[in-house]
Each structure stands twice: as C-alpha cells, then as structure tokens.
Amino acid sequence: MTEHAKTAPSNHTSLTQRLRSFDLRRHTYLLSVVFFLILCGINIALQPSFLQPGVMVSNLSTFLPLILVSIGQTYVILASDIDLSVGSIVSLVNVATVSIIEGMGGTGGAIALGLTTGLGLGIAAGLFNGLCVALLRFQPIVTTFATGIIFAGLALWILPQAGKQVPATVWQTYGGSILGVQTVIWVLTLAVIFALVLARTRFHHALLATGGQMQSAFQTGLHVLRVRITAYALSGLFSALAALCLVGETASGDPLLGTGYTLSSISAVVLGGTALSGGIGGFIGSVFGAMILGLIDNVIFFARLPFEYQGLVQGLIVLLALAGGVFVSRR
C-alpha cells in the first residue's frame, strides 16, 4: 500500500492505478471503520446489552487511554518517526500527578497543580524526544527506546511501589458527569475537536509533507525540524492526557502502569490505516484502531472462550485485521 500511495503517479501508471492511489491517500481509515463495525456487530450478538448507554460509557472508559495515546502516536508516525517512550510517559505523568496531589494534601489547588504539572511534564518529555531525534539527528527507534527507559526510571524513582491515593472527588468526577454529560465523553470530544482543528492547520500539511518526502519538504523550505519536534510534543501531550484519565480511573499511582501502551498504540495507528513509513493517514483511523483493539478484548470475553486460548485468539484477530488492510490495498 505504502509503495503505491507514496510515489506520485507517473506518466507510466494507468488511470485506474492513479485513481486507486488517490483514493487510498484520502480514505486510509475506511477499512478500520468497516472492521470496527463488524466487531460491533459481533459484540452486539454476543452481548445484547452492548448498546445500552451505561455499557457504552463503560467501554469508552476502558478504551479512552489507548485512544488518546494512539492519537498522539499518529503525529509522530505521520512524520515518519516513531515514539517508543509513550508508555513510560504515561507511567511518569501518572506517578508525578498522584504524588503532587497527595503530597499537597489533596486540596482543590493541589489537584489543579497536579493535573497541570502532569500535562506539562508530558509535553516536556515529548520535546526532549523531539530535540534528540530531530535536532541531534539520533535514530528515532533507539532514541525513544532509551528515553523511555529514562522516563520509566524517573517514574520508579518518584514512586517505587504502586500506591498513594487521590481524593475521592477526583475519581468520582472522572467516573461521573459534568454538565449532564459523562466526563469520559467530554474528554474524547475535546480531544477529537482539537485533532480536527489541528488537521486543518499549516502544521498538519507540513507534517504530511515531511513524512512523505522529508528531503523534498526540506528543500521546499519547510521547517522540518520544527514539525518533527512539534509531533513529538503532541505525542507527549496526548500520553499525559491518557495518564490523567488513568489517575481518574485508578485513583492511585503505579510506576508500571503505562508499559502496555507503547506497542498497543503503534498497533492502533497501523490498524487505522496510517503508514509506518509516514506521510499517509490520520488520527481518525487511530481512534478506530484503538477501539478495535479494545473491542477484540470484549468479543473474546463475551464469546466465553476458555482463558487458555484467549491470548492466541486475540493475536490472530489482530493479525487478521492487519492482513485485511494489506490484501485490500494490494489487490
């Protein structure tokens, strides 16, 4: 898919090929929507209560942290980079926020300071990644793997053992509603609006250009450096947002909390049709990709598979979803 879509249609390619590559560029996420709907159908068949508002909100609460991390990861991958430190950023922000809130006595001011410091810390971690990769020209995989170890080490240093608690108001607000709408729906809506607005900015066009053809983008005078650093900062920001959701969800700190998010977020981005080689895709696909991963867990649960086979089946379904994308785009 990536090969076809990336190279600009030359005079040698036929009209149909041109049309197809044009189509794929625009609608890379469509397949993930289809797969998402199929999984919803299976889930409804297995669990008739699936469409009840309470159940949908509860599912959204489960999926939300991964959705957020995946949105952030999308920007980095669009710039043809990768961020292997997102899981550690989640852990770091989680323990830092909880430690600040508890350390300052759990007052309203402490909560506000904890949350803003958490977001700031996420952005700072992302900027650090961006500077290492874009400015110092370190290799992205190895660099973010290493910075991930640093962030995880910092998290362990701040809170060596899972524990500490935030006041009940924090998790009651997160699990409840604000102005009559569930808090998790607010978070998702605001994140999506932010991403939609961002998608219309010059930055986003520059991002796609950078990921598609970094060399040409640079030669046409784009600030490739700034674009890549911003992408990493966004990844840090969204990871921090996910960490704050996890504070609301677990009401406590855990230095190992985020470990699983790194690879899951990359899977979600790829499932959502964004090319790992950069330049093609968008955050919408990643949102669906993250929900697909969550729904697969649900389907396995409600299918009442013996637990010995759950991991195996889960892996096979993910592989199927990825393979589906490859076959359709190759045909």
Partner 1 sequence: MLRRTFLTLSAAALVAATGSVAPTAARAQDTFTIGLSNGWVGSEWRTQMIDEAVAAAEAWADRGVEVEVIVQSADVDVQGQIAHVRNFMNQGVDAIIINPNSPTAFDPIFAQAAQRGVLVIATDAEVSSQDAIYVGIDQKGWAMKSAEWLAETLGGKGSVVAINGVAGHPANQMRVEGYREVFGKHPDIEILNEVNANWDQAQGQQAMRTLLATYPDINGVWVQDGMAAGAWRAINEAGRTDDIAATGEIRVDFLTQWKEKGYNSAASVNPPGVMASALNVAVLKLQGHEFKDDVFGGVYGNAIYLPIPLITNENLDEVYAEVKDKPGYYSVTTVVTPDEAEQYFD
* Chain contacts with partner 1 (rule: CB under 8 A): 47, 49, 55, 58-59, 61-62, 65, 160-165, 168, 171-172, 174-175, 246, 248-252, 254, 256-260, 294, 297-298, 301-302, 304, 306-307, 310-311
Min dist CB 57 to partner 1, Å, is 10
The nearer residue to partner 1, 136 or 307, going by C-beta atoms, is 307
On whether the CB atoms of residues 129 and 147 are closer than 8 A, the answer is yes
Distance from C-alpha of 250 to C-alpha of 175, rounded to nearest angstrom: 10
Closest CA relative to residue 206, chosen from 173, 229, 180, 174 = 229
The nearer residue to partner 1, 83 or 102, going by C-beta atoms, is 102
Please report how the helices 168-175 and 224-250 are oriented relative to each other, as an axis angle in degrees rounded to 10: 110
Min dist CB 37 to partner 1, Å, is 20
Which one-letter amino acid corresponds to residue 62?
A: T
Min dist CB 266 to partner 1, Å, is 17
The nearer residue to partner 1, 260 or 324, going by C-beta atoms, is 260
Q: b vs e for 131-148, b when ≥16 Cβ sit within 10 Å of the residue's Cβ?
A: bbbbeeebebeebbbebb
Sign of CA pseudo-dihedral 68, 234, 232, 322: positive
Min dist CB 90 to partner 1, Å, is 10
Hunting for tokens 């700190």 — which residue is that? 253
Which one-letter amino acid corresponds to residue 252?
A: S
On whether the CB atoms of residues 89 and 240 are closer than 8 A, the answer is yes
The nearer residue to partner 1, 62 or 277, going by C-beta atoms, is 62
Min dist CB 165 to partner 1, Å, is 6
The nearer residue to partner 1, 63 or 232, going by C-beta atoms, is 63
The nearer residue to partner 1, 49 or 177, going by C-beta atoms, is 49
Instruction: Quote the distance between the C-alpha of residue 87 and its chain's center.
Output: 10
On whether the CB atoms of residues 131 and 233 are closer than 8 A, the answer is no
Min dist CB 213 to partner 1, Å, is 38
